[in-house]
Every structure is written in C-alpha cells, then in structure tokens.
C-alpha cells in the first residue's frame, strides 16, 4: 500500500527530536535573575510559565491560489497530493494536501463572481473536494456523490452569492474523511464583498489565516499514534498552517485572525495569555453587526471565527487553548483533550502603535427569520447515529422544499459530545437549551457544537437549487463519527423537481 493508504500517522523521523527548551527560554531565565524587579512584561509575577512565550518559528501563511478569468468565470486549479512533510523540525509525517503535501492554498473570490474549480486527484485513493459552508447546487458540492477517482479531474462551477466570510474546503470521501483531512487536506475559501472595508484585509500582513490541526508526537519527540477518544482521534501537539510553535510578528497594532479548526476531533477553547479581550467580528457564514468582546471562544471541528486582536505597543502574548467542558464524563472529557492547555500562536506587536482601530459597526450578514419558518423537524443524535440511523448513500432522509425556511431542533441524547453541520446553507441558532445562544453562535453558522444533553434550535434557510436526485449532507463534523455513519442526506424539491420515489417504492411498483 502506498503511503496515503495507511491507518495511522506513521511518519519517519530524521534527525534529533525537537529541542523543547529554546535558547530564548534559557536567556529569559538568566535575564529574570539579572533584571529582577524590572517591569519587563515577560517577567510579570503570576504569568503562567509556558513554552508559548518562546515560540520563534515564523508563522507560515498559505499562499493565495492564483486564478485566471476564462469566459467570465474565475478559474482555479487544485491537485490532491500526498507525501511527507516535516511538520515538526526533525520529524516527518505522512501527509496529504492540495497543490502540495500539506494543507492547501487559500482561495479568494468576491460575492457575485462565477467560479470554476478543476480538482485533479493525484492520490492513490478516491477523494472529493467539498466547499464547506458554500451555498451552491448539490451537484457541485463535492460530497461522496461526486467522488474523484485517482488521476481523474472533477470540475465544479457556481456563482458566489453569500456574504463575505471565511469558508473552507476539504475532502468528503465516503468513510475516509478523517484520514484525508487529518493528514492535511484542508484549505481556506475566503469570500469578499464590499461590506467589510472597516476590517484589516491585507492578507498575510494584518489579515491572517490560522488553520489549526493536531498531530500525535511521542514523549521523545518522534511521531506517535493519536489517542482514541469518544469524540475521535486526538493528537497532543498543534500545528498552525503547517508551523510548529509559530510566532506571528505583527507589523500593525490591529490584527484580524481567521481561525479554522481543521482538526478531526479536538476542540479549542481559545484565549489570550494576557486574559485580555479580543473582538469577535465573524462567525462561520458572515460578519456580526458589530464586534463582540470576548475572552474565550470555543471552536469545535469545522467551525470558524474571525477575531480582531488589539496589540498594545511591545505586546508579546500567546493565543492558547485552555480547559473546557464538553459535557461528558470527567474521564471522557480528559480522553477527548478537553482538559489540555495548548499554546497555539505567539503574537508580538510593533513597539509603537501602528494604525487600526476596532470598528464600531460591520457590514453584517442578514440572519434567517423565525417568521419565515414553515416546517419543523426534530433530530436526535446517538453515539454515531442521527435519528437512530446510519448513513446510507442510497437513502434520502429528508425532502425539503426549495426556498423554504425550517426550524430544526437537534437533541444530543448520547453519551458523547457532537457537533452538527448542514451543507448548502448558513443557519441561525435560535436557542440552546431554551436560552439565547452564546455570543459566538449569534451570527450565521453552518456548524454548531451540541454537547451531551444539549438541545439546539436552528432556523435553516434553504436555497433555490432544487434537484430531486442529488442530495446534500448533514452530519456530525467530528470526522470519526462522520466516517462511522453519523450522516444523513436531504434533497431540495419544487414543482419541476418533485420528490423521487424511494428505492423501496420502486420495488413495489415494478
């Protein structure tokens, strides 16, 4: 079997294990003695001692994917590839990516544009390219129904018609999504419109993508095996845009971070080491009416958040993930990484203030309205099932009228934490356990965390792309659960595209 078919992360180690104590840490220690009592911010009493403050590797920024305009369409080309990547200095991992061996370039397009994607599969196994969070016809969505065989090219085209936001793309092959995504097949898909002018938008300078994945590393620094947890496989080290222990040397005092949790299972409870507030400006599907000040932000796999971080002169801080509660038993929370503290990114700021104020108002994305709801549905999450069923590619679980707005009530009655993602829409979370949802879930969303015992109500607007034969998916985005079959399918119908008889009905009639 070739390297991309293996079950585990089985990287080869070349060279010595990474040295954990950097030179700067040592110098810092000596400095602390020499200048004790001085007001150096990094010597402040009570600040947690953490490797994050010594991160030195410049943060990689995924390149923007080039495009060309052909017949009025913006045309992009992607190739699914595999290989080995030195994700940690001295340690090579078997990885997969788009246009490279790990992650993929950032795709950027403007609302209103027609785009065309050519995706070539250079892997030795089938893959797909799914545009997560995009509102588009089901035939273009890159689900298991649009499988790309090795050495084939698949093309998708649609018109972008949704607000400025940070989406992403990743494979969705039947039963193999965890393998391919956790090895690195993930990239950002940024949509621009003219409403986000108030936000920093110089890509890679003050508008920074952060794609967070976790990998397993053994105590000696060699590659390890991810821990099997109730929510999927958990790595013990984080890699940001392919960078281990990254440092972002900001040249401006206001930095916009587009954060994507591209991990298979791990959730991140993000905060700043200074405990300062940051400003949430966007959720999965668009911007908020105005920035919301937060000190913590919990992101489950596939969720995105856009935040602004205001850096005071000479700032040196760490974005980190801290313990959180996934609602499971104590042991299951621990196994699922919920009690870990992980340093993600060191951010240093300029010594003097450089441009940028947090805007008062943003061009906000319109939320679907309760008044438009015509149909209500209920879904119950089991350990790996939705309404007691496991994914069947030939079964349509839900038939929905094109253009309808529906209320979906989703209850997690299982022993595990889950999240819930619906393709082809951006929804509003109207309540969690009967109460107003937390700030981070008040904008447009396509994925929402549903901890054990929780019930969420979603107002889901469906598009006009009626197609009774090609389904969209909805599923848990903890990828091991998804691969286990925690996924179902819906079709959009209208008068010209009436529901098709189910396979069982066909047997009855023929």
Q: Which residues bind Cu ion (CB under 5 A)?
A: 132, 418, 423, 476, 478, 481
Nearer to ligand C2O by Cβ, of 103 and 217: the residue is 103
Nearer to Cu ion by Cβ, of 305 and 476: the residue is 476
475 binds, among Cu ion, ligand C2O, none (CB under 5 to 8 A by kind): ligand C2O
476 binds, among ligand C2O, Cu ion, none (CB under 5 to 8 A by kind): Cu ion
Distance of closest approach, residue 134 Cβ to ligand C2O, in angstroms: 10
- Residues written for the chain: 510
450 binds, among Cu ion, ligand C2O, none (CB under 5 to 8 A by kind): none
Nearer to ligand C2O by Cβ, of 132 and 418: the residue is 132
Distance of closest approach, residue 467 Cβ to ligand C2O, in angstroms: 17
Nearer to ligand C2O by Cβ, of 130 and 183: the residue is 130
Residue 80 contacts residue 171 (beta carbons within 8 Å): yes
Rounded Cα distance between 93 and 13, Å, is: 8
172 binds, among Cu ion, ligand C2O, none (CB under 5 to 8 A by kind): ligand C2O
Nearer to ligand C2O by Cβ, of 362 and 386: the residue is 386
Residues contributing to the site for ligand C2O (CB under 6 A): 130, 132, 170, 172, 302, 421, 423, 473, 475, 477
Nearer to ligand C2O by Cβ, of 52 and 144: the residue is 144
Residue 302 contacts residue 213 (beta carbons within 8 Å): no
Nearer to ligand C2O by Cβ, of 88 and 450: the residue is 450
CA angle 59, 64, 69 (to 5 degrees): 175
3-class SS letters over 174-219: CCCHHHHHHCCCCEEEEEECCCCCCCCCCECCCEEEEEEEEECECC
CA angle 201, 204, 210 (to 5 degrees): 100
Nearer to Cu ion by Cβ, of 243 and 425: the residue is 425
Tell me the residue number closest to ligand C2O, measured at CB.
132
280 binds, among Cu ion, ligand C2O, none (CB under 5 to 8 A by kind): none
Nearer to ligand C2O by Cβ, of 96 and 250: the residue is 96
DSSP string, 423-465: TT--BEEEEETTBPPPGGGSS-BSEEEE-TT-EEEEEEE--S-
Distance of closest approach, residue 169 Cβ to ligand C2O, in angstroms: 9
Distance of closest approach, residue 478 Cβ to Cu ion, in angstroms: 4
Distance of closest approach, residue 303 Cβ to ligand C2O, in angstroms: 10
Rounded Cα distance between 347 and 247, Å, is: 6
Distance of closest approach, residue 423 Cβ to ligand C2O, in angstroms: 6
Where does 13-81 have alpha helices with state H? 23-34
279 binds, among ligand C2O, Cu ion, none (CB under 5 to 8 A by kind): none
481 binds, among Cu ion, ligand C2O, none (CB under 5 to 8 A by kind): Cu ion
Distance of closest approach, residue 479 Cβ to ligand C2O, in angstroms: 9
Rounded Cα distance between 233 and 265, Å, is: 6
Nearer to ligand C2O by Cβ, of 201 and 390: the residue is 390
Distance of closest approach, residue 427 Cβ to Cu ion, in angstroms: 12
Distance of closest approach, residue 421 Cβ to ligand C2O, in angstroms: 5
Of 232, 175, 241, nearest to 213 by C-alpha is 241
Distance of closest approach, residue 417 Cβ to ligand C2O, in angstroms: 17
478 binds, among ligand C2O, Cu ion, none (CB under 5 to 8 A by kind): Cu ion
Residue 324 contacts residue 342 (beta carbons within 8 Å): no
β-bridge pairing 455-461 and 428-432: antiparallel
418 binds, among ligand C2O, Cu ion, none (CB under 5 to 8 A by kind): Cu ion
Nearer to ligand C2O by Cβ, of 99 and 261: the residue is 261
β-bridge pairing 73-88 and 114-121: parallel
Collect all residues with Cβ–Cβ distance below 8 Å to 39 and sequence separation of at least 6.
Answer: none
Rounded Cα distance between 445 and 284, Å, is: 5
Distance of closest approach, residue 473 Cβ to Cu ion, in angstroms: 7
Which burial class, exposed, middle or buried, applies to 2 when counting CB atoms under 10 A from its CB (0-12, 13-18, 19+)? Answer: exposed
Per-residue CA distances from 356 to 201, 206, 250, 254, 276 (Å): 11, 10, 12, 5, 17
Residue 453 contacts residue 404 (beta carbons within 8 Å): no
302 binds, among Cu ion, ligand C2O, none (CB under 5 to 8 A by kind): ligand C2O
Q: Which residues of 418-450 are buried (b: 16+ CB within 10 A; e: fewer)?
A: bbbbbbbbbbbbbebeeeebeebbbbbbbbbbb
Nearer to ligand C2O by Cβ, of 132 and 145: the residue is 132
DSSP string, 77-111: EEEEEEEEEEEETTEEEEEEEESSSSB-PBEEEET
The dihedral through the CA atoms of 485, 186, 444, 137 has a sign that is negative
417 binds, among ligand C2O, Cu ion, none (CB under 5 to 8 A by kind): none
Which burial class, exposed, middle or buried, applies to 352 when counting CB atoms under 10 A from its CB (0-12, 13-18, 19+)? Answer: exposed
Distance of closest approach, residue 131 Cβ to ligand C2O, in angstroms: 9
């Amino acid at each position: 079997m070739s390297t991309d078919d293996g079950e585990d992360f089985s990287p080869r180690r070349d060279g010595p294990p990474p040295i954990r104590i950097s030179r700067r840490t040592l110098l810092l220690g000596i400095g602390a003695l020499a200048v004790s009592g001085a007001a150096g911010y990094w010597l402040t009493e009570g600040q947690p001692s953490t490797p994050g403050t010594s991160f030195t590797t410049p943060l990689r920024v995924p390149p923007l994917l080039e495009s060309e305009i052909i017949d009025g369409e913006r045309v992009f080309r992607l190739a699914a590839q595999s290989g080995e990547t030195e994700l940690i200095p001295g340690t090579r991992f078997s990885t997969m990516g788009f246009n490279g061996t790990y992650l993929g370039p950032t795709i950027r397009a403007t609302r209103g544009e027609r785009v065309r994607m050519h995706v070539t599969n250079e892997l030795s196994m089938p893959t797909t390219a799914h545009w997560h969070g995009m509102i588009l016809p089901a035939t273009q969505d890159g689900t298991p129904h649009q499988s790309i065989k090795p050495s084939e090219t698949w093309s998708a085209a649609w018109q972008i018609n949704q607000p400025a936001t940070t989406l992403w793309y990743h494979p969705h092959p039947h039963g193999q999504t965890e393998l391919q995504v956790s090895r690195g097949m993930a990239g950002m898909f940024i949509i621009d419109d003219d409403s986000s002018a108030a936000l920093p938008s110089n890509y890679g300078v003050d508008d920074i993508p952060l794609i967070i994945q976790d990998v397993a590393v053994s105590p000696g620094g060699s590659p390890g095996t991810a821990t099997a947890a109730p929510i999927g496989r958990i790595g013990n080290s984080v890699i940001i845009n392919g960078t281990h222990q990254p440092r972002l040397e900001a040249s401006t005092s206001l930095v916009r971070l587009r954060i994507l949790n591209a991990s298979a299972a791990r959730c991140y409870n993000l905060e700043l080491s200074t405990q300062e507030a940051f400003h949430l400006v966007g959720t999965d599907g668009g911007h908020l009416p105005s920035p919301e000040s937060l000190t913590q932000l919990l992101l489950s796999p596939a969720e995105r958040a856009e935040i602004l971080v205001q850096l005071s002169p000479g700032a040196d801080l760490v974005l980190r993930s801290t313990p959180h509660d996934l609602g499971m038993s104590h042991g299951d929370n621990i196994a699922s990484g919920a009690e870990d503290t992980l340093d993600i990114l060191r951010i240093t700021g300029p010594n003097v203030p450089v441009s940028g104020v947090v805007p008062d108002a943003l061009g906000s994305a319109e939320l679907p309205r309760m008044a438009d709801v015509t149909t209500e549905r209920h879904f119950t999450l089991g350990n790996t099932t939705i309404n007691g069923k496991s994914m069947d590619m030939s079964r349509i679980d839900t038939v929905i009228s094109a253009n309808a707005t529906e209320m979906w009530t989703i209850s997690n009655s299982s022993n595990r934490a889950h999240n819930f993602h619906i393709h082809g829409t951006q929804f509003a979370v109207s309540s969690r356990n009967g109460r107003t949802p937390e700030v981070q879930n008040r904008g447009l969303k396509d994925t929402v965390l549903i901890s054990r015992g929780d019930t969420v109500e979603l107002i889901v607007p469906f598009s006009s792309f009626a197609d009774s034969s090609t389904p969209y998916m909805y599923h848990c985005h903890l990828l091991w659960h998804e691969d286990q079959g925690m996924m179902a399918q819906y079709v959009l119908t209208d008068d010209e595209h009436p529901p098709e008889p189910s396979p069982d009905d066909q047997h009855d009639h023929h």
